[in-house]
Structure 1
Amino acid sequence: MSASMRLPLVVILGATGSGKSKLALEIGRLFNGEIISADSMQIYKGLDIITNKVTKEELKQCPHHMIDYLDPLKENHTVVDFRDMAVPIIDKIFKSNKIPIIVGGTNYYIEALMWKFLIDKQDIEKASAKLPKLSTVDVTSETAIQCRESEKPEEKKQIIEQDECNRNSDVEIVDSNSFRQSYEEEDTLVLHQRLMEIDEKQGRRIHPRNKRKIIRALEVYQNHGVEMSKILESQKSETGEESLRGQLRYDNTCIFWIQADKQVLDSRTDKRVDEMIDKGLLTELQDFHKQYNSYRIKDNNEVDYTHGIFQSIGFKEFHDYLLLPDDEKDTEKGKQLLQKGIEEMKLVTRRYARTQVRWVKNRFLRYRGSCLPPVYGLDSTDVSLWEDHVNKPAIDILNTVLKGEKPDYEPIPAEQSYNVPLYNICDVCDMVFTMNQEWEAHLKGKKHNGMLRAKRKREEREEYKRQVEKKEKHEKDTSLQKELAMTSAILDCYANKASSSNTHEDIVRQDASTTSDKHNVICDQNNESDCKPAEKDEMPVMYTAEES
């Protein structure tokens, strides 16, 4: 049996502030391991404070990889680039009879190393060989133009981030292309509509506002003429793996999830932000801003907080403060902007920690299949009990795994739900869902049911209003018909005065059933003596035309 099959791949999961790095160092020292950093911000050179890199002392305790190798101003990096660099390092560590330890907070970096779910050129070639080439869709299609024209402004508020639940369709392509920049400039809904025209199955897996995934699917088709959904189906048939995430890269994988109470995590993250400020975070950001702005102005680029190092928590939050002149930073306005930046950074960090916890639950506890290794829970809520609740259990489990035995500690049981791609649109809330579990949770949620009740009340009010208007219109039409009938009878009276063939009494008698009463009243009101009705007890005197 090869070394890579005997030695386990250790993966340490946990939210920011849970103690992932501390456990990784302890395991690395005890088991002769080497650490693979799975953090998309720590790959950039410099900016050690904002990216929370390990210290020089910690680097000496255990070898670290995938840190400080990219220029943050000039180089772009994808998850495929990271995977292609990290996997050979992991294989080399195994060959050296050491244990690789993956630790970090970038979810899809960890998944890219654990599972074979990213699309390679080989996958595209295999799918292309099985399937006929498809013709390209006109990029200025009429449907796409209509989509742009019919976009509702409120739709922009309904973006749902479901990356942690839909990572199976988040693939990367390994070749560069010239279309990405033009795609980035287009509206997201237009791009999604174009994807639906090209590959409806894949389009239904991707949220209409998830621009990154949409562009990747379009790039695959644009470059190779093959639908991404077909490539994924071909990939699944090759591996025989029914899981959404793909085939497990290393069979012997041991996963630790360090957990802590939410309130404790909130306190730790707030404290971490304060410590970063004390270490010189603002000076680090200010120096980098000056360097970046000179580079940006030279190339005439706009500030973009959605790519590269600028996605680090802290850049966007302190943007307004950093733009102030130095002499204004000590003013009241400067102090307010500084405090605002600190509070926003703490808030965003707390939210990010919750997202990391949600990702672990969605990706490691809610799926079945042979590709899901056991996940062992460790509790770091009370740091005074770290040795008993975190360190000792992890060491015991790892020792048992190295012996090829089953640990005495039970892994966290997988939940009974299985989240699958399912495209749904909520017309009530004007939201789109691409996963069944989120859709079902939405239907049970307070917000949806509240809006549903409000919609029903609006519909009831509108229906009542329509019924009232309908009744009023009917009454108005009936009244108008009667008035027209009376007017017609009066006109007939005038017309027949000069007629010798009919008497006035004959005309009135012909229409007596519907108009006689009102006709006589109107005639009386108009002082038409000839049209006044006869008394009920009197018989009308009939005259011939000659006698009158």
Structure 2
Amino acid sequence: MYIESDAPKPPLLVLVGPTAVGKTKLSLTLAKQYNAEIISGDSMQVYRGMDIGTAKAAPEELAAVKHHLIDILEPHEPFSVAEFQERCTSLIQDIGARKRLPFIVGGTGLYVESVCYDFQFSEVSSDEAFRSEMTDYAQSHGAEALHARLAQVDPESAEKLHPNDQRRIIRALEVHHVSGERLSEQQKRQTKVSPYQLCIVGLTMDRALLYKRIEERIDLMLEQGLIDEVRGLLELGIPSSSTSMQGLGYKEIVAYLEGRASLDEAVDLLKKNTRHFAKRQLSWFRHMKEIEWVDMSQLEDFTTQLDAVRAIISTKLTLDRNSY
């Protein structure tokens, strides 16, 4: 078994990084070597039927290693960071109890960080009338206009949130509206003390190469049937305004299917938005001081990169070396 009896805290391995940096391949290799079970740290992969646009691992990859928090909700169901934290914390306990290593892999920074440091979320009460007003405002003026309102009162939160992330933008506006305090200020008060024996590995890459890989990934998604996937969700009655359909790859293709953009315009916008998203991901993760970074730019040097990650794990986690 991998956990030594005198380990002071339960171990938790975490792998983060921007979209298209190479998390999936590395995570599968590490999970097999360390007797780990993967917990998805992606806010969109929880939805069934949203496979291509969320870049889920292939069925055979999901079958090769036990995965959690993938395909657990229907696309019309809401999902919050607080719910993710609750589910993930329970899974970590369960996986550890079975003498396996819990391993969070994903790029949704707030979700991952909330678990790593046991965030206490704002207890500011809700204001349903204000939420409704902001929802109507977004529908009337557009996502960018709503995002601009947040930038006026809480620029730090706005910098971290994609304009399409309407639910979290409205919550940040609501916190400020109800309490007069910025959500970003509340988050800074988090203790950043982890209840886990924590090892966070961050993957980075030359920016030009990362952007090239992003564009190639989107081209592949289109070849794999992204448009048909989005069309099928709309035909099932999933509202285009739902949280799930605001994700990258869905909102842009919806605009094409609804005749508000040509296919070329939609694809160009998707590539642009994804590049901006990757930049925000890296910005978020660089504020997490405990991350140990590994550069993935040399694509042919996977073995070297794997060895670098294993060396980091060996210094951060107390593991039974006979297990791997």
Scaled to the shorter chain, the TM-score interval is 0.7 to 0.9
**Which residue, 301, 310, 319 being the options, matches 1:395?**
310
User: Match for residue 184 of structure 1?
Assistant: 134
Task: Give the distance between the partners of 1:259 and 1:212, measured in 2 at CA.
Answer: 30
Q: Is the 8 A contact 1:3 1:95 kept in 2?
A: no
- Residue 134 of structure 2 aligns to a residue whose secondary structure is helix
Percent identity over the alignment is 28
Partners of 1:179 and 1:259 lie apart in 2 by 42
Report the alpha carbon displacement of residue 266 of structure 1 after superposing the two structures with TM.
0.8
Q: How does 1:173-252 map to 2 (within 5 A)?
A: 178-179=128-129, 181-185=131-135, 206-207=154-155, 211-216=170-175, 218=177, 244-252=189-197
CA-CA distance at 1:211 after TM superposition: 3.8
Distance 1:29 1:180 in 2: 48
Q: 2:29 aligns with which of 26, 29, 43?
A: 26
2:53 paired residue number: 50
- Deviation (angstroms), 1:403: 4.5
Distance 2:311 2:292 in 1: 11
Q: In 1, Cα distance between the equivalents of 2:247 and 2:225? A: 16
Going from structure 1 to structure 2, the CA distance change for 1:172 and 1:269 (only over 3 Å counts) comes to farther
User: How far did 1:359 drift?
Assistant: 1.3
Report the equivalent of 1:537.
none
SS at match of 1:29: helix
Quote the offset at 1:392 in angstroms: 0.8
Q: After TM superposition, list the pairs within 5 Å mapping 1:133-532 onto structure 2.
A: 171=122, 178-179=128-129, 181-185=131-135, 206-207=154-155, 211-216=170-175, 218=177, 244-292=189-237, 296=239, 303-304=240-241, 307-324=242-259, 337-361=262-286, 363-365=287-289, 373=290, 375-388=291-304, 390-403=305-318
Is 249-258 or 38-47 further displaced after alignment? 249-258
For residue 117 of structure 1, the aligned residue among 92, 98, 119 is 119
Report the Cα distance in structure 2 between the residues aligned to 1:82 and 1:258, rounded to whole angstroms.
Answer: 22
**Residue aligning to 2:146:** none
How far apart, in 1, do the equivalents of 2:134 and 2:285 lie? 30
Q: Are 2:2 and 1:5 aligned?
A: no
**Partner amino acid for 1:56?**
P
- Tell me if the contact between 1:7 and 1:402 (Cα under 8 Å) persists in the aligned partners: no
1:4, 1:95 within 8 Å by CA — same for their partners in 2?
no
Q: 1:25: how far off? A: 1.1
Q: Which amino acid aligns with 2:190?
A: R
Counterpart AA for 1:282: I
Q: Tell me how far 1:319 sits from its aligned partner.
A: 2.8
The answer as to whether partners of 1:38 and 1:103 remain within 8 angstroms in 2 is yes
What is the TM-score with the length of structure 2 in the denominator? Answer: 0.79
- Counterpart residue identity of residue 107, structure 1: G
In the TM superposition, residue 205 of structure 1 has moved relative to its aligned partner by 7.9
State the alpha-carbon separation in 2 of the partners of residues 249 and 228 from structure 1: 25
Q: C-alpha root-mean-square deviation of aligned residues, in Å?
A: 3.2
Counterpart secondary structure, 1:318: helix
Residue by residue over 1:109-129, the C-alpha shift from the partner in whole angstroms, topping out at 9 and shown as x without a partner, is: 01111113223xxxxxxxxxx
2:154 is aligned with what amino acid? Answer: I
Match of 2:91 among 89, 92, 96: 89
**C-alpha distance after superposition, 1:440-494 (max 9, x if no partner):** xxxxxxxxxxxxxxxxxxxxxxxxxxxxxxxxxxxxxxxxxxxxxxxxxxxxxxx
- What amino acid sits opposite 1:34 in the alignment? E
SS of the residue 2:103 aligns to: strand
More relative contact order, 1 or 2 (CA 8 Å, 6+ apart): 2
The structural deviation recorded for 1:6 is 5.3
C-alpha separation between the residues in 2 aligned to 1:247 and 1:4? 20
Counterpart of 2:141?
A: none
3-state SS, counterpart of residue 394 of structure 1: helix
Please say if 1:62 is aligned against 2:21. no
Q: Which residue of structure 2 aligns with residue 106 of structure 1? A: 108
Report the alpha carbon displacement of residue 385 of structure 1 after superposing the two structures with TM.
Answer: 0.8
For residues 108 and 5 of structure 1, the distance between their equivalents in structure 2, rounded to whole angstroms, comes to 26
Aligned to 1:125: none
